Structure 1
Amino acid sequence: MHPYEEHIHHLLLDNRFIDWVVNPQSPYAEYWLQWIAADNENAALAEEAKRFILEMRRAEQEGAEDVHEDKLDEMLANIKTGIAPGRRGGGHKKLLWLAAAIVTGAMAVSTLFFLPKTHPGQEGSASQVEAADVVRYNGNKEDELLFLPDGSKVILSKGARISYNLLMNGSKREITLSGDAFFDVAPNAQKPFYIYTQHVVVKVLGTSFKVNASGGKESVAVSTGKVSVYLKGQDLEQSAAQIVLPKQVVSLTEDRRALTTNEWSGKYPAAAALQKPVSYDFEEAPLSTVLTTLEKMYAIPVKYNEDSFNNCFITISLGDESLEEILKVITRTVDASYSMSSYGITIEGKGCR
């Protein structure tokens, strides 16, 4: 792959760049505008990568859940018309998996599952914007259902965004939220679930509730279980927190200095939606099909040898358990092993005969 194409490849792997292209309110806009203005070649690189992303976005919006390889070739060829003849190389095939990942991740709809990368020529730069491992943004007109690696589910409202660690494998499960969302949190007393908005923190062990964090107003309304809510910067979490029970709502006061709790008589349409079984069922399906769906659901890249596992078929339901529990079932079924890292999931094994 030519160095010029390699730089485009890096841009397409940078979730900050993807977010800036598809989201008008991206917090990374200033960073990328400065980077483009600094050098003419930076501007050319950004234009080629942006064109590719928008082509993929348009294809997806036209209803193509899976874009055929011939179509990907055509898109990449169209993008390459802007590259100087001396820079055109034969390495564009290496980008096909990335194009498929963009489509699989619902580019402009809800998910940006690209891992944070240092920018070409900017490794170690103190001026870089730090990016969350995963940014999921709902650009749809309707609410969007998201699956989290710990088994929790989120219904993200239009224009809302969450970010979190790719695997949620720390001592805490932490989410940053902008906008409105309904959470159905999988219980795990050893790993409490935290949601951070601009002004408040929500702590929960396992329950369902709605968080509003848009329009300058913030509130938490509980459907089942209970949560504790406190202002950011408060040191004594246990003594300062507001305990919110079912059918109650805690709201940030107008001066943003306190929280008030009241009875809640509103509706939870999202809760009703989640009461219905939400799963993807497969019966003797190719392993590749199951893993592609897994990538889409959890916004995590899955790497494996397609040739080795070409003859593997599996019957499984996805959506009712945590990601690790699902991976255990899959790898036991096909006699393989898996590992998880900051780069995603790797599945290894001899395959099926």
Structure 2
Amino acid sequence: MKHFSEDTWEFIQDDRFIQWVLHPDAANAAYWEQWIAAHPHRQDAIEKAKAMVLSLSKVQQPAVDGALLEEVYAVLDKHMMEEQPAMKAAPQVLTAAVKTNFRYRWISAAAAVVAGMVMVSIYLKKNNKPLVAAKIESYIEKDQVIRTNKTPDNQVAYLTDGSTVVLKAGASIQHTTFLQHPKREVYLKGDAFFDIAKDARRPFFVYTPKVAICVLGTSFNVTEEKGGNLTIMVKTGKISVYDLADNKQHGYIVTPNHKIRFNARTAVFVADSLNIADAQNIPAAVNIPPFTFENTPVTAIFDALETAYSIKIHADVNVFGKCMVTTTMTNETFENKLKIICAAINATYKISGGQVYITGKPCS
């Protein structure tokens, strides 16, 4: 058997596996411990995959030998030669195609980092561009936002794409700061109501400890019960749901006014129509108040956006302290809001390292 087998490669491509190795928590640790216990014959592949992922994250690991490097390249070549399938609209079965672009960059990064260990620089054969560790970067803490509702009341979390999430008490979400990848991805713990902005080019994924939810633009409620059971109720649009432990990712379509319940013990989905009690439990459409400012210091506006989106905005008060703005903003994305404000004060903005930097001249 090859040292770097297809069995090992399967784990290295698995988003959930990478999240567990790089950022373990109680939920993903419990899942993988249970999975390993049920598949003891794959322990060796698991350990090799973990070593590779840790190497990619720049955690100190023993040097990777030349034979392993050659096998990485061989598998990489195989994947690069395969035609990348397009994602079908409203699929009944979610295939690996929905993860192709996101993982493809990470596969390329794997070869790049290993090559760096032996001081070799290579380029992608198809487009001659340097290999970029895009996949691994999505798990670096500096590019992640964790938002937790520590109050007893519902709390609205604004996302930069125009989506909103109502976090119930104790719930939390984690995501890349600007949802900048081909897939908009949010990791959820607890109960929440999602109202997702439509973007046909970039599907939106919600990951719970055991279930993934794929949407294009819709609103739905997620309730997590003790023992890992999950109930998802769809208010508008439609979603596709699948069990993360299902390698074939058989999807289940849920349409408006329907719900689906996942039994964590049996890994079985059961779908049904919403009853009156269910409908009453789905939150009403979130009434997002507009960002309305009347002759307001622009630094105060930036503070309001910083609080709403959990994104640090750097604006020098010595430069912009006298700039006053009157505006109303509603459903614009975060960046469009920045453009509106910057246009009003003749300033520019730059996004770097998950933060925003405002530059310009003082107002007279």
Match of 2:313 in 1: 302
2:359 counterpart SS class = strand
User: What SS is found at the alignment partner of 2:320?
Assistant: coil
Q: Which residue of 2 aligns with 1:190?
A: 201
Q: Secondary structure at the match of 1:272?
A: coil
Counterpart in the other structure of 1:231 = 243
Q: C-alpha displacement at 1:329, in angstroms?
A: 0.6
Contact conserved, 1:223 with 1:268, CA < 8 A, in 2? no
**Of 138, 146, 152, which aligns to 1:135?**
146
Match of residue 180 from structure 1:
191
Q: 1:255 is matched by which residue type in structure 2?
A: R
Q: CA RMSD in A?
A: 2.3
Distance change >3 Å, CA 162–CA 254, structure 1 → 2? closer
Task: From 174, 177, 198, give the equivalent of 1:166.
Answer: 177
Residue 202 (structure 1) aligned with residue 213 (structure 2)? yes
CA distance in 1, matches of 2:330, 2:187: 22
Cα shift at 1:264 = 1.3
Aligned to 2:259: 249
Residue type at the aligned position of 2:267: R
- What SS does structure 1 have at the residue aligned with 2:343? helix
Alignment partner of 1:151 is 2:151: no
- AA paired with 1:245? T
1:288-312 Cα offsets, whole Å, 9 max, x none, are 1100000000000001222111221
Kept in 2, the 8 Å contact 1:185–1:205? The answer is yes
Q: Residue 178 of structure 1 contacts residue 214 of structure 1 at CA under 8 Å; is this kept in 2? A: no
SS at structure 2 position matched to 1:296: helix
> Cα deviations across residues 34-59 of structure 1 (Å, max 9, x unaligned)?
xxxxxxxxxxxxxxxxxxxxxxxxxx
Q: Deviations over 1:237-291 (max 9, x none)?
A: 4xx21110111111112534221211112135664251x3422310111001100
Q: Distance in 2 between matches of 1:277 and 1:302?
A: 22
Cα distance, 1:180 vs. partner? Answer: 0.3
* TM-score using structure 1 length: 0.61
1:171-200 Cα deviation digits (max 9, x unpaired): 111000010000000111111100000111
Residues 277 and 302 of structure 1, relative CA distance in 2, 3 Å threshold: closer
Q: Write the deviation string for residues 95-127 of structure 1: whole angstroms up to 9, x where unpaired.
A: xxxxxxxxxxxxxxxxxxxxxxxxxxxx95559
Is contact 1:167-1:342 (8 Å) kept?
no
Question: C-alpha separation between the residues in 2 aligned to 1:231 and 1:191?
Answer: 21
Structure 2 distance, partners of 1:244, 1:338, is: 41
Q: Distance in 1 between matches of 2:242 and 2:151?
A: 31
Residue identity matched to 1:219 = T
What letter corresponds to residue 259 of structure 2 in structure 1?
Answer: V
Aligned partner of residue 319 in structure 2, secondary structure: coil
Determine the C-alpha separation between the residues in 2 that align with 1:322 and 1:191.
Answer: 15
Distance in structure 2 (CA, Å) of the matches to 1:154 and 1:342: 24
Secondary structure of 2:180's aligned partner: coil
Kept in 2: contact 1:287–1:310 (CA 8 A): yes
Q: Deviations over 1:131-165 (max 9, x none)?
A: 47111111111111111111101110111111000
1:143/1:155 contact within 8 Å kept? yes
Going from structure 1 to structure 2, the CA distance change for 1:268 and 1:155 (only over 3 Å counts) comes to farther
How much does 1:317 deviate? 2.6
SS in structure 1 opposite 2:321? coil
Identity of aligned residues (%): 31
Instruction: Return the alpha-carbon distance in structure 1 between the equivalents of residues 264 and 181 of structure 2.
Output: 34
Residues 147 and 242 of structure 1, relative CA distance in 2, 3 Å threshold: same
Instruction: Compute the displacement of 1:328 (Å).
Output: 1.0
In structure 2, the CA distance between the partners of 1:269 and 1:330, relative to structure 1 (3 Å rule), is: farther
Counterpart residue number, 2:350: 339
Counterpart code for 1:321: E
Q: Given residue 336 of structure 1, which amino acid in structure 2 is its aligned partner?
A: A
1:59-118 Cα distance to aligned partner (Å, 9 max, x none): xxxxxxxxxxxxxxxxxxxxxxxxxxxxxxxxxxxxxxxxxxxxxxxxxxxxxxxxxxxx
| Structure 1 runs not aligned, ≥5 long | 1-25, 29-122
Q: Rate the CA distance shift 1:319–1:297 in 2: closer, same or farther, 3 A.
A: farther
Q: 1-side partners of 2:152 and 2:144: how far apart? A: 25
1:293 corresponds, among 304, 307, 311, to: 304
AA aligned opposite 2:334: L
